[in-house]
Structure 1
Amino acid sequence: MFKDIIVGVTPSGVDACAVESAVGFAKKFESNLYLVHVAGMEQGWGSIETLEASGETARLEARIREMYASLLADLPNAKVQVVAGIPHNELLRLARKKDTDLVVMGPHTKEYEEKRAQMWGMAGSTLERVSQKARCPVMIVHRAVECKDPAFSNILVATDFSEQSECAVSYGGQMVRQYKARLTLMNVSETSTDSPQGRAEIEARLNAEYGDRLQGIDNCVYAGRFGRPAMEILNMATQIGADLIIMAHHSNADDPEEAFLGSTVVQVSVNAPCPTMSVNRHFDLRCGLMYDQTGQVVEVAATA
Structure 2
Amino acid sequence: MFKDIIVGVTPTGIDACAVKAAVEFAVKFESKLYLTHVAGMEQGWGSIEHLAPSGETEQLGDKIREMYDEYLKELPSAQIVVVPGIPHNELLRLARAKNSDLIVMGPHTKEYEEKRAKMWGMAGSTLERVSQRARCPVMIVHKEISCREPLFSNIVVATDFSDQAECAVSYGGQMARQYKANLVVMHVAEPGGPGRSECTARLEDAYGKRLDGIADCAFRAEMGEPAMEILRTARQGDADLLIMAHHSKERDPEKAFLGSTVTQVALNAPCPTMSVNRHFDLRCGLMYDQTGQVVEAEALA
TM tier, smaller:
over 0.9
* Cα distance in 2 for residues equivalent to 1:199 and 1:286: 28
Matched, 1:291 2:291: no
Displacement of 1:214 in angstroms is 0.7
Would you say the 8 A contact 2:14–2:109 is kept in 1?
yes
Q: Output one character per residue of 1:139-171: Cα deviation in whole Å (capped at 9) or x when no partner.
A: 000000111111101000000001110000000
Q: Which runs of 4+ in 1 moved over 4 A?
A: 45-49, 284-288
Structure 1: give runs of 5+ residues left out of the alignment: 298-304
Shift of 1:94: 0.3
Structure 2 portions without partners, runs of 5+: none
TM-score between the two structures when normalised by the length of structure 1: 0.91
More displaced stretch, 77-86 vs 254-263: 254-263
1:192–1:226 contact (8 Å) kept in structure 2:
no
Alignment of 1:35-114 (within 5 A): 35-44=35-44, 46=46, 50-114=50-114
Return the offset for 1:206: 0.1
TM-score of the pair, normalised by structure 2: 0.92
Give the distance between the partners of 1:11 and 1:46, measured in 2 at CA.
Answer: 21
1:208-223 map, 5 Å: 208-223=205-220
Offset of 1:55 from its aligned partner? 1.7
C-alpha distance in 2, partners of 1:190/1:116?
Answer: 26
- Among 227, 233, 238, the alignment partner of 2:230 is 233
Q: Following the alignment from structure 1 to structure 2, what is the Cα–Cα distance between the partners of residues 138 and 114?
A: 24
CA distance in 2, matches of 1:134, 1:47: 27
1:126 pairs with 2:126 = yes
CA distance in 2: counterparts of 1:171 and 1:20, whole angstroms: 23
Aligned residues: 293
- Indicate the percent of aligned positions where both proteins have the same amino acid: 66
Pick which of 97-106 and 286-295 moved more: 286-295
Q: Which amino acid aligns with 2:52?
A: E
Please give the residue correspondences for 1:1-304 in structure 2 after superposition, counting only pairs within 5 Å.
Answer: 1-44=1-44, 46=46, 50-117=50-117, 119=118, 121-122=120-121, 125-192=125-192, 198-280=195-277, 281-282=280-281, 283=283, 288-293=292-297, 296=300
**Helix, strand or coil at the partner of 1:7:** strand
Following TM superposition, by how much is the alpha carbon of 1:113 offset from its aligned partner in structure 2, in angstroms?
2.0
Amino acid paired to 1:293 = A
TM-align CA RMSD: 2.0
Query: In the alignment, residue 182 of structure 1 is paired with which amino acid?
Result: N
